[in-house]
């Protein structure tokens, strides 16, 4: 079986049922003043802020794009990069690439033009599909990516350097292309990155994607009647692989284009959502908005909402206790995963184990886990070691990077780089990350990138960026800056300097102090964490 088979089945079984809904909340808010009731707001009009497609339409859109690619000479094994914000076309483009026998290559929408270029070259992408938000960034590099033979633009007012996806697919047949696909065929390349900040291209086959579908549906028991509220970006394995559970059973999903707490809860009520996946900051914002009266849940019908689950970062037990006090009937779950293990689910807490909040859980459906020492030997319960996972969802390799692949893949086991320990009941708790990646609000921040930028300031002698505990974001980036002799600099001055960085990469705390290095010249970040995190870091780690 390959993952496109699920789409084929849904189009046959449920052709007229809604598959995807796109909600633009700021437009919905305006529409409410005209139509008063949400149910009266017309669908599929620009003024309404709500559009939808059925499984049949989804299937036809994917087939049209697949046939467009084939008509342009795209062959089995070619790569189609996707650079779009969440929208109704995102998943049909993804599945269209797969149906053509190509590999889908989702790109992070926060990438700069240089990062986009780097990832296109690393993945050897042949086609780029992009949306209106990225015109400027793509235009900067369109003459510097000779490997990308075709640029397709999704949206109005197509720029001169690209072709209009919307116009071209209109003339393509909606018949399923006859491209033979097998479970072992390559299917997708996702991007990850370590402490160096250079993305690695993660190769997955169809078997891996199918296993992600089965794992998610097994963990959360989706049925045809469920409605999944999808808020995180679809380029991320977390969002897409949680939606895969709905794909298996033909359930509806709602793509919400906004993260304000009132928008999330209102949409959950309006669309009768039953499953909502959140990041820690969003969950905290919702609770705060309920407490201050911005959200009045007693005026909303949230009776269909059965499951709230969180991923992408450690979850404070206090947050879940607070959530359950307001939503006592909600099931709660968390999943651990990496892009290298096709996203969430290789370790899974389970809705029946809320008494173990703080743990990431046990081996997920179809997965094996172990915790090992530096020699690869399994440690005793209670001892700290590196977490390793094994299963059908492990990546094939880091594309075109044999050394990096060999560093983490050993006898079928994926060594995650995360330090963990197992309690007496067999539940796994994360202790620390072997890597220095900072996870802030579910986004990975790479210290080297931030450090390299700050070093361009002529007042800076040395700099180290570490993560400090943050009750809302999980972690925040802190820059320890050692100034050159006989110069002065204020926090405000450095904050202004860092505004040249993307907002999510800017340090939230500036500390002027000496940066310690060991005899080999490496920054002693454990020492810095001990100095600046102290007991607060220990407490945070004990919570997870």
pLDDT at residue 538, rounded to an integer: 43
Distances (CA, A) of 84 to 110, 126, 225, 507: 10, 17, 29, 27
> Is residue 272 left, alpha or beta, with left meaning phi > 0 and alpha meaning psi from -120 to 50?
left
**Mean pLDDT within 170-180:** 97
Q: Which of 76-85, 260-269, 477-486 has the lowest mean pLDDT?
A: 477-486
Strand (E) positions, 131-272? 150-153, 163-164, 186-193, 199-205, 227-230, 252-256
Contact 75, 106 (CB under 8 A): no
What's the CA gap between 20 and 10, in Å, rounded?
12
pLDDT at 323 > cutoff 90: yes
pLDDT at 315 > cutoff 60: yes
- Of 212, 216, 243, whose CA–CA distance to 227 is shortest? 243
For residue 153, the cross-strand partners are 130, 164
Helix (H) or strand (E) holding 453: helix 447-454
Confidence bin at 249 (pLDDT 50/70/90): very high
- Considering the chain, what percentage of its residues have pLDDT values greater than 70? 95
What's the CA gap between 27 and 183, in Å, rounded?
42
Q: Which two tokens stand for residue 86?
A: 């969440």
pLDDT at residue 541, rounded to an integer: 41
Same fold, 317-433 and 438-543: no
pLDDT at residue 434, rounded to an integer: 67
Q: For domain 317-433, say whether CATH 2.60.40.1930 is its number.
A: no
Q: Which of 60-69, 338-347, 424-433 has the lowest mean pLDDT?
A: 424-433
Q: Which two tokens stand for residue 44?
A: 């599929």
Contact 458, 486 (CB under 8 A): no
Strand (E) positions, 289-427? 307-310, 331-338, 343-348, 362-363, 368-372, 385-390, 397-398, 409-410, 413-422
> Is residue 42 left, alpha or beta, with left meaning phi > 0 and alpha meaning psi from -120 to 50?
beta
Distances (CA, A) of 211 to 81, 126, 475: 23, 27, 31
Complete DSSP assignment for 176-209: PP-----TTSEEEEEEEE-TT--EEEEEEEHHHH
Confidence bin at 522 (pLDDT 50/70/90): low
Neighbours of 381 (CB within 10 A): 11
Q: Which two tokens stand for residue 329?
A: 């009937």
pLDDT at residue 267, rounded to an integer: 96
pLDDT at residue 433, rounded to an integer: 64
Q: For domain 438-543, say whether CATH 3.40.50.200 is its number.
A: no
pLDDT at residue 544, rounded to an integer: 37
Backbone CA torsion sign across 389, 392, 397, 399 = negative
Distances (CA, A) of 511 to 183, 188, 402: 51, 41, 39
Residue ranges of domains in the chain:
4-258, 317-433, 438-543
pLDDT digits (tens, 9 = 90+) for 382-434: 998 899 999 999 999 999 999 999 999 999 999 998 888 999 999 998 876 66
What pTM, to 2 d.p., does this model score? 0.84
pLDDT at 540 > cutoff 60: no
What's the CA gap between 311 and 308, in Å, rounded?
10
pLDDT at 520 > cutoff 60: no
pLDDT at residue 518, rounded to an integer: 59
For residue 445, the cross-strand partners are 438
Complete DSSP assignment for 6-49: HHHHHHHH-TTSEEEEEE-HHHHHHHHHHHSSGGGSPSSBTTTT
> Counting runs of H as helices and runs of E as strands, what totals does the chain give?
17, 27
Backbone CA torsion sign across 199, 205, 209, 215 = negative
What's the CA gap between 363 and 368, in Å, rounded?
6
What's the CA gap between 409 and 388, in Å, rounded?
9
pLDDT at 135 > cutoff 90: yes
pLDDT at 535 > cutoff 50: no
In 3-state terms, what secondary structure has residue 510? Answer: strand
Contact 531, 466 (CB under 8 A): no
Helix (H) or strand (E) holding 476: strand 474-483
- Considering the chain, what percentage of its residues have pLDDT values greater than 90? 71
- Of 407, 496, 376, 395, whose CA–CA distance to 196 is shortest? 407
What's the CA gap between 130 and 113, in Å, rounded?
13
**Mean pLDDT within 251-268:** 96
For residue 539, the cross-strand partners are none
**Mean pLDDT within 328-353:** 93
Q: Regarding predicted confidence, which is higher, 195 or 250?
A: 250
Q: Regarding predicted confidence, which is higher, 21 or 444?
A: 21
pLDDT at residue 48, rounded to an integer: 87
- Of 331, 323, 283, whose CA–CA distance to 305 is shortest? 331
Q: Regarding predicted confidence, which is higher, 444 or 303?
A: 303
Confidence bin at 193 (pLDDT 50/70/90): low
Question: CA 434 from chain center: how many Å?
Answer: 21
Domain at 4-258, CATH homologous superfamily: ANL, N-terminal domain (3.40.50.12780)
267 Cβ neighbours under 8 A, 6+ residues apart: 23, 25, 229, 254, 256, 273
Q: Write down the mean pLDDT value for the chain.
A: 91
Q: How far apart are the first and last CA of the chain?
A: 37
Complete DSSP assignment for 391-446: STTS-SEETT-HHHHHHHEETTEEEEEEEEEE-TTS-EEEEEESS--EEETTEEE-
pLDDT at residue 313, rounded to an integer: 64
Q: Which two tokens stand for residue 75?
A: 């062959």
pLDDT at 207 > cutoff 90: yes
Q: Which two tokens stand for residue 121?
A: 């070259």
């Amino acid at each position: 079986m390959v993952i496109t088979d699920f789409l084929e089945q849904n189009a046959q079984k449920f052709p007229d049922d809604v598959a995807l809904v796109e909600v633009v909340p700021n437009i919905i808010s305006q529409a409410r003043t005209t139509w008063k009731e949400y149910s009266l707001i017309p669908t599929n009009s620009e003024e309404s802020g709500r559009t939808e497609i059925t499984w049949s339409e989804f299937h036809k859109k994917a087939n049209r794009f697949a046939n467009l690619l084939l008509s342009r000479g795209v062959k089995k094994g070619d790569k189609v990069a996707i650079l779009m914000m969440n929208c109704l076309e995102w998943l049909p483009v993804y599945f269209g690439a797969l149906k053509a026998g190509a590999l889908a290559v989702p790109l992070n929408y926060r990438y700069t033009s240089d990062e986009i270029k780097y990832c296109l070259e690393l993945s050897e992408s042949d086609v780029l599909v992009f949306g209106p938000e990225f015109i400027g960034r793509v235009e900067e590099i369109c003459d510097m990516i000779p490997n990308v033979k075709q640029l397709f633009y999704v949206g109005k007012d197509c720029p001169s350097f690209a072709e209009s996806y919307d116009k071209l697919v209109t003339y393509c047949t909606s018949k399923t292309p006859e491209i033979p696909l097998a479970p072992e065929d390559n299917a997708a390349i996702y991007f990850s990155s370590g402490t160096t900040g250079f993305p690695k291209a993660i190769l997955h086959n169809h078997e891996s994607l199918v296993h992600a579908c089965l794992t998610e549906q097994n963990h959360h028991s989706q049925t045809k009647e469920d409605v999944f509220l999808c808020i995180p970006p679809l380029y991320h394995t977390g969002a897409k692989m949680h939606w895969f559970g709905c794909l298996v059973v033909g359930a509806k999903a709602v793509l919400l284009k906004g993260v304000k707490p009132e928008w999330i809860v209102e949409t959950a009520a309006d669309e009768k959502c039953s499953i909502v996946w959140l990041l820690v900051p969003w969950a905290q914002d919702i609770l705060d908005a309920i407490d201050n009266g911005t959200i009045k849940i007693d005026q909303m019908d949230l009776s269909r909402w059965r499951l709230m689950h969180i991923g992408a970062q450690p979850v404070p037990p206090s947050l879940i206790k607070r959530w359950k006090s307001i939503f006592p009937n909600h099931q709660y779950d968390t999943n651990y995963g990496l892009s290298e293990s096709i996203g969430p689910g290789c370790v899974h807490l389970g809705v029946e184990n809320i008494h173990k909040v703080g743990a990431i859980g046990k081996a997920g459906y179809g997965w094996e886990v172990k915790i090992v020492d530096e020699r690869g030997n399994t440690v005793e319960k209670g001892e700290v070691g590196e977490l390793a996972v094994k299963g059908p969802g492990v990546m094939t390799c880091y594309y075109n990077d044999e050394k990096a692949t060999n560093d983490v893949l050993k006898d079928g086991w994926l060594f995650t780089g995360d330090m963990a320990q197992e309690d007496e009941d067999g539940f796994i708790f994360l202790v620390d990350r072997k890597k220095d990646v900072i996870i802030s609000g579910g986004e990975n921040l790479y210290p080297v990138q931030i450090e390299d930028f700050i070093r361009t300031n002529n007042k800076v002698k040395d700099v180290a960026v570490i993560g400090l505990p943050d009750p809302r974001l999980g972690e925040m980036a802190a820059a320890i800056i050692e100034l050159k002799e006989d110069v002065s600099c204020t926090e405000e001055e450095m904050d202004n300097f860092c505004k040249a960085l993307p907002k999510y990469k800017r340090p939230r705390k500036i500390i002027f102090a000496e940066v310690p290095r060991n005899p080999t010249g490496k920054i002693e970040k454990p020492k810095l964490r001990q100095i600046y995190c102290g007991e607060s870091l220990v407490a945070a780690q004990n919570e997870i």
